[in-house]
Structure 1
Amino acid sequence: MLKVPQQQYIRYLREVEGCGIQEIADRVDVNWRTAKKYADQDDWNEPITKRVGNRPILGPYVDIIDTWLLEDEQLPRKQRHTATRIYHRLQEEYQYQRGKRTVSAYVANRKQQMAIERMDRHERLEHPGGEAQADFGTTYIFKTGELVERKVLTMSFPYSNAAFAFPVPKENTECFLEALKRVFEQAGGVPHKIWFDNLSAAVVSVLDHGERELTDAFSWFCAHYRFEPQFCNPGRGNEKGNVENKVGYGRRNWCVPPPVIETPAQIIDLWEEERPKLLQLPTIPLEIYRLETARLNKYSEWQFESTLYPLPQCKARLPVLLKVKWDEIEVLSADGTYQSLATFPRPYTEKAIPMNWHAIFEGYRKRPRAVMYSTFVKLMPIAVQAFLRVDQAELRKPRILLLLRLLESYTLEEIGEGLVQVPQTDVQHPILLEHVLYAIKHPEFHPEPFAESHTPESLHGQIPQLEDYDRLLGVLMS
């Protein structure tokens, strides 16, 4: 098929210059039938099916994008890829040199096909300068092969659209107040009013007429930093929609466009205008902690949140005070001197999200090439990664099917351990791998080799030569 400029030139020669078919064929150097086809063509509408599956610009990147979007279905909805994030990853990891618009168009179309729901929109509320909104957001990170939950407190200023954030392990009182203190320090001042949800770290209960009974720690905090807390009605997150958007903005690696504002001024300029309206920070920062009493057991240990801590320098049964902070616990003497005895990290329990490896491998079964680009492959044991990521395309699908079947009886870690024990020359023999895995999972059926003490150590490892026995016995070799 001729290129579009050639088609247009043939049309020009026919309609404008009035050339005959053979003359057009000679001048364009094409067959006369081809010249006649385009010279006399009346319908120039492009067939709908013409471009189906033909993406010359994205080319091999389509499989990579599809893999990431499919893997997003295994992640929390609020932390999935945006088109911008996909575009940047293609640039950074695969040296993509084309424009962003092509990627965005494809991602939008692909997400629509996958029926991803759009987020609801709410009306924006106007806030004067010097007021803020604060909210916790949940984000997830990969840590030691697990999907781990983290909490991020975000404080936004609707007037300028500026925002500050600080991550903490949990949403308890100490973490909440410490995070607020840190964002005040980042902003260089304290808002006059801050809007919150009715989070338990600040509100004990909602009283009649919408009044709130605050926790003692939060009341002291408000008094120290001199701001007025405001609380949204239950279930009305749109009353602090600016910070809700900012939480999502941060969760998606700061790739979501900022909310639309009527003024063309930039955020940094509006923030410089809003900053003087903040209250000054106190000269002495508030130390955030709570005191608890404890008593050492007979082994000179004390317990906090199901964790035992040793304090061998102290006598057994000794009473102590625990100065509980957001990230550590300081042990003080309870004799009135309040001497610091030791400091320990606070025992936060990681909330790991289990990986559904069976579902992930089902996706690989349908798209074997996906294992070459998949983020989840990097979380697998090294031996499994090497087993899957082979250059020979014809080997990938059988290996994926084998691992998918083995996952019904073994964990991915056990499979990785088994692959390490199988020689590389035999790694393609599934029966051998299954025997190794069975031995790992059922060590009771594989006792240690029999040990005998009669053979001298100097002979260990030597292979006897049967010819020597024949010679000693006088057996003639034929």
Structure 2
Amino acid sequence: MGFLSVIRRWALRDKMPIREIARRTGLSRNTIKKYLRAGIVELRFQTPARPSKLDPYAEKLTGWLVTEQRKSRKDRRTAKQMHADLVQLGYDGSYERVAAFVRTWKGDRQRAQQTTDRGTFVPLVFQPGEAFQFDWSEDWASVGGERIKLQVAHIKLSHSRAFLVRAYLLQTHEMLFDAHWHAFRVFEGVPGRGIYDNMRTAVDRVGVGKKRDVNARFMAMTSHYVFEPDFCNPAAGWEKGQVEKNVRDARHRLWQVMPAFPDLDALNVWLEERCKALWTETAHGSLTGSIADIWEVEKPALMPLPTAFDGFVEHSKRVSPTCLITFERNRYSVPASFANRPVSLHVYPERLVIVADRATCGLEILLRAGGASWHSHLM
């Protein structure tokens, strides 16, 4: 192809005579004229069909190869032995042709086996109310006069592609449960299945294939909202590709344009309103209409919203003689009646609840962003 390019450059750009090109290249003038007249820029050669001496024995050789694969490695015949057996049947071709046939057959079989092992992947299509996808990301925002790094929950309905983005300080259980409640509240219902990666707040251990040891507290949440958790294969983010794309799109649709906020609650109110506005502004892509239009169609297929899951994480603590309780390197003071007593600490996204002796009364501590500012009152 490079040789042809030189001929075209000499003739079309340098205006060199055909006779001179023929002299330099050794090609006939008619051949050069044919290339230039047809405007050929890439040579294509047709290989004539040449029958092989091995063709009449190809089926027999293939059968032998299949049989040999079922034997142990040390009992298999070599290509040289199979060539000798073919000669006994009347084959008078070369050994090299038999060896090439064997290599090609084994290569095709290996590629077919790899395709079977990996599976065949097709674009995922979801029915109304069938599933949602969940993922975390890290983003920055100005909250309370400071620029802080936030852990952001992304929840997206797989059919209508309606989504919610909600910001937290940590990726802990209580934040995970709170994100699900707000998503189902905004979607006005619960789909039948949730698609996740193998995050530590949901999966205690990844087993073989789809086997997972699911965290007991996470399973309690799925049972409360009555949906089935489905976990992706390791390093297979495409299995929840819609929410993966939502993480990327949110960077320029939300985080790059958002104003400053006095606290995290104000930020989440803005995120919820902005997400709903984007439903109306964004075309669905696969179906006719906006995301909001398809969501209205999907709503009847969602399970009615139950009460909120009591999504606390429980820790056993003992109050110090100086009436202090420690949680995540912070110390909180409690009334003197709690001193030296074992208590149960219920951790929520925005508050801590201290319960003594499983009593219904206890102490509630309201948290602020960063945990620096707080106040408490008796329940």
Alignment TM-score, normalising by the size of structure 2 = 0.55
Instruction: Say yes or no: does 1:313 pair with 2:344.
Output: no
State how far apart, in whole Å, the 2-side matches of 1:240 and 1:171 are. 19
Aligned residue for 1:268? 292
Letter in 1 for 2:361: Q
Greater fraction strand = 2
Q: Could you tell me how far 1:146 is from its partner in structure 2?
A: 4.8
Aligned residue for 2:124? 125
Does the 8 Å CA contact 1:151/1:170 hold for their aligned counterparts? yes
Aligned residue for 1:281? 305
> What per-residue deviation string (whole Å, max 9, x for no partner) do you get for residues 183-233 of structure 1?
001110001111111111111111123211111111111111110111111
Q: Could you tell me how far 1:244 is from its partner in structure 2?
A: 1.1
Superposition CA RMSD, Å: 2.7
Instruction: Say yes or no: does 1:154 pair with 2:178.
Output: no
Q: Which runs of 4+ in 1 moved over 4 A?
A: 143-146, 254-260, 346-350
Give the 3 Å change call, closer, same or farther, for CA 292–172 of structure 1 in structure 2.
same
Aligned residue for 1:296? 319
State how far apart, in whole Å, the 2-side matches of 1:232 and 1:315 are. 45
State how far apart, in whole Å, the 1-side matches of 2:283 and 2:360 are. 51
Does the 8 Å CA contact 2:284/2:291 hold for their aligned counterparts? no
Q: Could you tell me how far 1:137 is from its partner in structure 2?
A: 1.9
Question: How many residue pairs are counted as aligned between the two chains?
Answer: 227
After TM superposition, the structure 1 = structure 2 runs for residues 4-403 of structure 1, keeping only pairs within 5 Å, are: 124-130=123-129, 131-143=131-143, 146-254=146-254, 261-282=285-306, 284-314=307-337, 316-334=339-357, 336-345=358-367, 348=370
SS of residue matched to 2:209: helix
Q: Could you tell me how far 1:343 is from its partner in structure 2?
A: 2.3
Greater shift, 137-146 or 156-165, is seen at 137-146
State how far apart, in whole Å, the 1-side matches of 2:230 and 2:192 are. 10
SS of residue matched to 2:363: strand
Letter in 1 for 2:300: P
Does the 8 Å CA contact 1:124/1:241 hold for their aligned counterparts? no
State how far apart, in whole Å, the 1-side matches of 2:202 and 2:371 are. 22
Give the 3 Å change call, closer, same or farther, for CA 146–278 of structure 1 in structure 2.
same
Does the 8 Å CA contact 1:326/1:346 hold for their aligned counterparts? no
Q: Could you tell me how far 1:124 is from its partner in structure 2?
A: 4.8
Structure 2 gap ranges (5+): 1-120, 258-277, 373-379
Give the 3 Å change call, closer, same or farther, for CA 245–205 of structure 1 in structure 2.
same
State how far apart, in whole Å, the 2-side matches of 1:157 and 1:338 are. 37
SS of residue matched to 1:151: strand
Letter in 1 for 2:343: V
State how far apart, in whole Å, the 2-side matches of 1:144 and 1:341 are. 26
SS of residue matched to 1:189: coil
State how far apart, in whole Å, the 2-side matches of 1:147 and 1:183 are. 26
Letter in 1 for 2:367: P
SS of residue matched to 2:217: helix
State how far apart, in whole Å, the 2-side matches of 1:144 and 1:345 are. 14
State how far apart, in whole Å, the 2-side matches of 1:315 and 1:232 are. 45
State how far apart, in whole Å, the 2-side matches of 1:171 and 1:137 are. 10
SS of residue matched to 1:129: coil
> What per-residue deviation string (whole Å, max 9, x for no partner) do you get for residues 337-361 of structure 1?
34213424278579xxxxxxxxxxx
Letter in 2 for 1:325: Y
Aligned residue for 2:94? none
State how far apart, in whole Å, the 2-side matches of 1:233 and 1:259 are. 30
SS of residue matched to 1:322: strand
SS of residue matched to 2:305: coil
Does the 8 Å CA contact 1:123/1:238 hold for their aligned counterparts? no
State how far apart, in whole Å, the 2-side matches of 1:270 and 1:203 are. 32
State how far apart, in whole Å, the 2-side matches of 1:324 and 1:345 are. 10
Does the 8 Å CA contact 1:307/1:347 hold for their aligned counterparts? no
**Identity value in percent:** 26
Structure 1 gap ranges (5+): 1-121, 351-478
Q: Could you tell me how far 1:158 is from its partner in structure 2?
A: 2.9
Letter in 2 for 1:133: Q
State how far apart, in whole Å, the 1-side matches of 2:362 and 2:338 are. 15
Give the 3 Å change call, closer, same or farther, for CA 125–148 of structure 1 in structure 2.
same
State how far apart, in whole Å, the 2-side matches of 1:124 and 1:138 are. 28
State how far apart, in whole Å, the 2-side matches of 1:239 and 1:340 are. 44
Give the 3 Å change call, closer, same or farther, for CA 297–154 of structure 1 in structure 2.
same
State how far apart, in whole Å, the 2-side matches of 1:195 and 1:245 are. 14
State how far apart, in whole Å, the 1-side matches of 2:241 and 2:137 are. 13
Does the 8 Å CA contact 1:124/1:242 hold for their aligned counterparts? no
State how far apart, in whole Å, the 2-side matches of 1:199 and 1:289 are. 18
> What per-residue deviation string (whole Å, max 9, x for no partner) do you get for residues 414-449 of structure 1?
xxxxxxxxxxxxxxxxxxxxxxxxxxxxxxxxxxxx
